[in-house]
Chain A
């Protein structure tokens, strides 16, 4: 029974020491960063370091409150020998922070109670808390809760807005339509849907792949526009160029024979 408890204590101490060491290392690296890279350090890296430390603190407190961990409070550390001489082993263990295990240092290092100053301050606060009227306390809690809930509302509202925005942004098909792209590009590039009237020579137009022989309606366009009157008017307007066209065409055809 005794042995088992000892074993448990040992393993608990091991894991505590390991976690404390981790914590110490990351605090040291953070201090190093602040001292040496204060010009180039970015806010995110600083926060990353901070998050690491707080994570390690959490895991340390988890270890301490674990079921398997013996109640450390019930254990005592008893200094058996004090000496003003320099102790090399101690210095090595503590990375040269503590060189002697003497009377002046021992109470500080083996302290289990708070420092006297901190202790008196705690006492003050506790008496103040005890002396507080119940109604007053209730009132303060209520105001505090009101402020918190207000902030909570603001944050959740902002989050809601942000989420709807990002979800609407995620929907790609909303912003543009492939059919419209094709319609517009075909119109601008090949005149699809923009040509007026049939070709004067009754030929299909090679550029448009012979699609635009009928005057009304554009393929792909919204139907039922009732644009017959414009088309007929446009046809009369196109009369003059078409006449020129046929003239020129016959002239052009004459050329090869002339040569």
Chain B
């Protein structure tokens, strides 16, 4: 049996060896509802899991946030906000919940083809929501994502419709736009920047149906 100390040691050793896939390389885009079939068709041709057809998913994602008052008296940022996402499958009941931490995104310069952000995923039981509540986390927002997942080597492509939660949690959901969000991502240990080039080439193949791009969240929040 390993003691907690041992577990911490092996974790830090793994971190040092750089084998934990904790960097997410990401490109995002969208496609209008009426062209989603065309996109799915093309993805079916481009991706690995052709025989079984696209994998569908129907998930509920809740984003929790925890506010921690900063001890250092910086007036501009009185609170630091720490968010965690919990995702559960609606269509399949026996899968574990997924807890996910997503870090600040780095855009890098023009030569870098994708957004890079740290990302840590883990499976957990359904009591995670209660646990996070006990920790002081608060539901920031939640949504339903329904769509299709494709694989191409290490790359994951999701085409999903985002629904806003209605009043009556299960039943009334409404799509928030007339488009599907398309995400191309790879989880890899840090430093493997070559994958970004592969992703750029793959994204190129989906043009002009979908423009997969690096999207700057900061600029987005200023724009809208």
Contact = CB atoms under 8 A, between A and B. Distances in A.
B140 interface: yes
Contact of B140 (A178, A205, A234): A205
B221 A238 contact: no
A221 B224 CA distance: 11
A220 interface: yes
Interface string B122-139: 000000000001011011
B200 to A, nearest CB: 17
Provide the main secondary structure of the chain A interface: helix
Interface string A214-254: 00001111000100011101100010011011001101110
B217 A180 contact: no
A148 interface: no
Interface string B11-41: 0000000000000000011111001001000
Interface in A141-185: 169, 172, 174-178, 180-185
A181 B140 contact: no
A241 B138 contact: yes
A190 B219 CA distance: 12
B210 A221 contact: no
Contact of A169 (B67, B166, B208): B208
Interface in A174-208: 174-178, 180-196, 200, 205-208
A207 B65 contact: yes
B162 A184 contact: yes
B28 to A, nearest CB: 5
B167 A233 contact: yes
Interface string B197-224: 0000000000111110101010011111
Given A177-B179, A194-B143, A245 B136 contact: yes
Q: How large is the interface on A (under 10, 10 to 19, 20 to 34, 35 or more residues)?
A: 35 or more
Given A181-B30, A187-B176, A229-B167, A192 B211 contact: no
B215 to A, nearest CB: 5
Looking at A183, A188, A191, A233, the one whose CB has the most chain B CB atoms below 10 A away is: A188
A245 B30 contact: no
A256 interface: yes
Q: How large is the interface on B (under 10, 10 to 19, 20 to 34, 35 or more residues)?
A: 35 or more
Contacts of B69: 252-253, 256
B176 A181 contact: no
A194 B136 contact: no
Contacts of B31: 175-176
B141 A196 contact: yes
A238 B138 CA distance: 9
A211 interface: yes
A107 interface: no
A10 B81 CA distance: 94
B81 to A, nearest CB: 5
A256 to B, nearest CB: 7
Nearest to B68: A252
A229 B166 CA distance: 10
Interface string B114-156: 0000000000000000000101101111110100000000000
Contact of B162 (A176, A188, A200, A206): A188
Contact of B179 (A181, A234, A242): A181
A207 B81 contact: yes
Interface of B: 28-32, 35, 38, 63, 65, 67-69, 71, 77, 79, 81, 83, 133, 135-136, 138-143, 145, 162, 164-168, 172, 174, 176-179, 181, 207-211, 213, 215, 217, 220-224
Q: 3 closest Cβ contacts across the A-B interface?
A: A191-B141, A248-B136, A230-B167
12 contacts: A172-B211, A175-B31, A175-B209, A176-B30, A176-B35, A185-B217, A188-B181, A196-B141, A206-B81, A209-B222, A218-B176, A234-B167
Given A176-B30, A184-B176, A185-B30, 15 more contacts: A172-B207, A174-B35, A175-B208, A180-B177, A181-B30, A185-B215, A186-B221, A188-B145, A191-B141, A193-B164, A194-B142, A194-B176, A211-B224, A244-B136, A251-B136
